[in-house]
Amino acid sequence: MQPTNLAQFLAFSGAALSMSAAGLALVAIGLAAAKNDIVQACGIDKIVALTHMCFAIPLAVFGAEHLSSPQSMLALVPSYMPWRVFWVYFVGFALIAASLSIATKVQVRWSGLLFGAMMFLFVAMLHLPGAVTAGGRILWTIVVREMSFGGAGWVLAGIAMGGDRGGQGKSLIAVGRVPIAIAAIFFGVQHFLHPLGLPGVPLVKQMSPWIPVRAFIDYLTGAFLMVAGACFLLARKTRMAATYLGAWIVLLVVVIACPDRGAGGPECRRAGRGGQLLRRHASVWRRDSFAGRRQPEVTRGDPKSCAEGRQSSRRRLPATAVVGRPSSLTQRAPAATSARRAVS
């Protein structure tokens, strides 16, 4: 092996090793943090309980890439910015910190808010100027993708603030869901226009020939995305749409994206494709909060409670129950009790 090729191989191996280690570490941390939620959830909600972990894994992987291979990321920093190397390392540490916060559900109101703001800054400073100047489907797809990631971060922050229960984070959820819904519809249309691309985030990569019924997979994914995006914008059947779309995308990651990456030779240098799909599925599964519903409490390991929880989750709670205000009937109950005590 030539010295130049050996140096490139060692550099590649170091970056790949650090990215893989970061991803595996976040899997362990996320599973430990979500253990109770997984045990208490029922049916497909057990997979939904992995939302924070799936969102955090790509952040850790990309953060490790920034720290282990800073020179390859340096070209992405605008030339007018001072201390360009510093910003590469800063973003790397910020991504790892955000991944730990989101995976453990500690101070997500800040990590989600700041991560979302960072993604919108990336769009304004890097991706949008390039898309406007050069144009092209891929550049605009990246713009929409990054905006949806920023919106997902704000949705996570809004949920952590209690916005899904009518708290102060409600506006963050309302703002964050718009780019997510737009991305779902935009990606759905792209799947119909380019039916052989790797499903999920429709970029240049094509599905390998060994994958059967490639066009059908893309058409089905596009239909899921478009229907779910419409549900998110109209606030109709959002929980059901988010749950099944997220489950489908996770299936794509496991069955298609990861094996296709492994068979991609030198192109598998980046774990970005699977990471993009994981973030896509995680942002989708946080959209169930747009319906303004609270998850029913169930008894651990009790099938009857699980069945009752699933049945009650189909019914929308009254607005007073969502925000925690007592109804007029419960307000009159203490007064009636006091009156009876006074008579007796």
pLDDT in tens, 96-109: 999 999 999 999 99
- Domain presence at residue 313: no
Look at the chain and report how many structural domains it folds into: 2
* Residue 28: domain span: 1-106
Residues 55 and 92 in one domain: yes
- Domain presence at residue 307: no
Nearest to 278 by CA among 24, 51, 13: 51
Residues 120 and 166 in one domain: yes
Residue environment code for 310-334, b if the CB has 16+ CB neighbours within 10 A, otherwise e: eeebeeebeeeeeeeeeeeeeeeee
Q: Which of 68, 88, 106 is the last residue of a domain?
A: 106
Residues 121 and 239 in one domain: yes
Residues 83 and 122 in one domain: no
pLDDT in tens, 253-276: 888 877 765 544 443 444 444 445
Residues 90 and 147 in one domain: no
- Domain presence at residue 69: yes
| Bridge partner residues of 206 (DSSP) | 197
pLDDT in tens, 312-344: 544 444 433 333 343 333 343 444 444 444 434
Residues 281 and 151 in one domain: yes
Lowest mean pLDDT among 136-140, 244-248, 256-260, 313-317: 313-317
Higher pLDDT, 68 or 291: 68
Residues 123 and 149 in one domain: yes
- Domain presence at residue 40: yes
| Direct distance between the N- and C-terminal alpha carbons of the chain, in angstroms, rounded to an integer | 97
State pTM to two decimals.
Answer: 0.73
Structure tokens given for 206: 């094509």
- Domain presence at residue 343: no
pLDDT for res 250: 82
Residues 97 and 119 in one domain: no
Residues 90 and 159 in one domain: no
Residues 138 and 272 in one domain: yes
For residues 211 and 217, the answer to whether their CB atoms sit within 8 Å is yes
- Domain presence at residue 299: no
pLDDT for res 210: 85
Q: Which of 106, 123, 145 is the last residue of a domain?
A: 106
pLDDT for res 108: 93
Residues 71 and 97 in one domain: yes
Higher pLDDT, 304 or 146: 146
d(CA 201, CA 183): 9
- Domain presence at residue 18: yes
| Bridge partner residues of 197 (DSSP) | 206
Q: Which of 256, 271, 291 is the last residue of a domain?
A: 291
- pLDDT of 147 strictly over 70: yes
245: left (phi over 0), alpha (psi -120 to 50) or beta: alpha
236 phi/psi in degrees, rounded to 5: -125, 130
- Domain presence at residue 256: yes
Residues 78 and 203 in one domain: no
